[in-house]
Amino acid sequence: MKTITRIAQFLFILCLPFLLLMASISGAVNCARLYQYGFEKYNVSQTTGIESAELKKAARGLIHYFNSGEEPINLTVMKDGKPFTLFNQREIVHLKDVKDLIHFGYRVLLGTFLYALAYVLYSLFWRRDKRRLAQWLMWGGGLTIAIILALGLTAVLNFDQFFLQFHLLSFANDFWMLDPSRDYLIMLFPQGFWYDATLFIALGTLAVAVMMGVTGYFLCAAQDRRTIPPAAQSRR
């Protein structure tokens, strides 16, 4: 029984970094303001010849596509006063791959959330061990911080290589290799955008991990104070 309990504790600590990271990634995928920030910062309207209002429409269309069962993507905007199909066949195939990756992330998010929730309920209402739960939250927050700092440092020092390795590991084909002179997907989202998005995800994950770790620390301290006899507390 102790072995099973320890495995459950280890899995709880291990799932927290995945839970927080997938939550941040999912938030970024569905954040229209992040898309619009990139469009404005990297002068995408000027690069593509597409008006800002139509770029906002494209952002909403991409978010809808990523969260729907529709295939293939057929996103049309107005350019030079005429309807314009935004993506070619190569980009459509790559967007399907991206969508599959996003949905895999959703499943990881759901799985880790359900496991973490079940473990929290088990600790609170079955084992009634708030201190251990707080301790595992603190450890999970610390592990998340360590992982994000390591990945963040790697990305900051050599983002080109980090970006390349991500694509090599994530996709089984080369449809992600696009031409910025003709492929609108890469015009909409140049590499600078992905650097900013990576920082956004990392900082969001770090912020929640720090809050989790600090919360766990103070809950541990509160539980320790409750276990100290009143006479010992008065001497302190």
pLDDT of residue 4: 87
Confidence grade of residue 236 (pLDDT, cut at 50, 70, 90)? very low
What lies within 8 Å, CB to CB, of 122 at 6+ separation is: 8
Angle at CA of residue 32, ends 151 and 175, nearest 5°? 60
Percentage of the chain beyond pLDDT 90 is 85
Residue spans per domain, the chain = 2-223
Confidence of residue 86 (pLDDT cuts 50, 70, 90): very high
Bridge partners (DSSP) of residue 76 are 85
Distance CA 117, CA 137 (A): 12
Quote the mean pLDDT of the chain: 93
> What pLDDT does 71 receive?
96
> What 3-state class would DSSP assign to 79?
strand
Q: How far apart are CA 207 and CA 220, in angstroms?
A: 20
* Model confidence pLDDT, tens digit, residues 43-56: 999 999 999 999 99
Radius of gyration of the chain (CA): 23
